[in-house]
Structure 1
């Protein structure tokens, strides 16, 4: 089973930059997208063989998640029952026989951490939601989580310390999530690997210089870690300021 996560930074724009070509050659059973920036039906998305599930923000052209899947889910949930967190289309959950797939686009804490209080509320609410699912069956949680967990996860940790995505508060929440029974698949598989990122600023030739951040994740219930075959950060794939991440599992 192969699952892809990709922040496409506007799906309609990404379609003009190779989205279909990547999707068709990826061999993915499920493709989880973040920051679709569109409502369902605003474009005719042509992915033969895939069912489409969407969670769009109330505000048009903003945020949004989608999952394209070859396997019909048992159930689909477009919110996570936490008041105040369901208007931005940030979480989409598909239930399967052996696991839950949770596709998420975590809110950015913004410049000078203007939205950090909301981000902390979000982290606590989502962790509680994931733990509730995990009591029933294992969880595969993926998406743009908008945090580089450790210094190894970004090119310039010292100059970014305290900035959105690398604040002590956000990093601590990631630690808390992992300590509650989950693993960061890439770091578990490749604990010492450096220079591998999933997002690069459009400024300062960041991608050409590989001055990036690893903020796109697969996080799974610890009890299924042995089902992971491999995880790939596809930094050779363009079309967005993020690259796709591919997870191979046998469940």
Structure 2
């Protein structure tokens, strides 16, 4: 009977550890989702998500559901997405716990702040999209629409739009984290990033034009924060680099 090689045993142990971390992350999401199901409930959660759209419609107007099970399925999808966002710190912690054993002590000092900041920035991006962008975008669309058109959005189309916009803004708010990682890994220097600043600004507006509706309000609402967060990353990156240097690298 042959025994597995040391490398094979290590690989299998890593797979088992990864499985356990994924299970724990999934349990966290399920528990949060169950809590949201109890309070405030899927229907109430969807009503909250729909508030910016309802506020832009004529008084008394509502959205419509064209699918037979859409009134049930769409609120459930929204609840699951909200549960994932709220459980994101726990999910990222499980990711950190998986990679932490292979990191040096000075590298671990970088990972923990990145996990916290990534979660906070993603949630901030989603909140910024909901509280600031949606109201202005829907108001702009409502005012632009001809009076001969009755605006009655379908709830599934609205959900797709909201989720794509929230994902775009959540990902955009991760720009400082991306800058810090690039600088810390030595792939690019802060000086070089400052040199390409004009291209970054143009790129921010190009990305905003692609991922947002074709209106100037939402494009500027995404491009300007992206630029500001890039500048924030340039300020924070040197601090992270100094704080996570190996002892022999410290001058």
- Settle same-fold status: TM greater than 0.5: no
- Between Structure 1 and Structure 2, the one with more strand by share is 1
Q: Give the TM interval when normalised to the shorter protein.
A: under 0.3
- The alignment's TM-score, normalised by the length of structure 2, stands at 0.24
- Between Structure 1 and Structure 2, the one with more helix by share is 2
- The alignment's TM-score, normalised by the length of structure 1, stands at 0.24
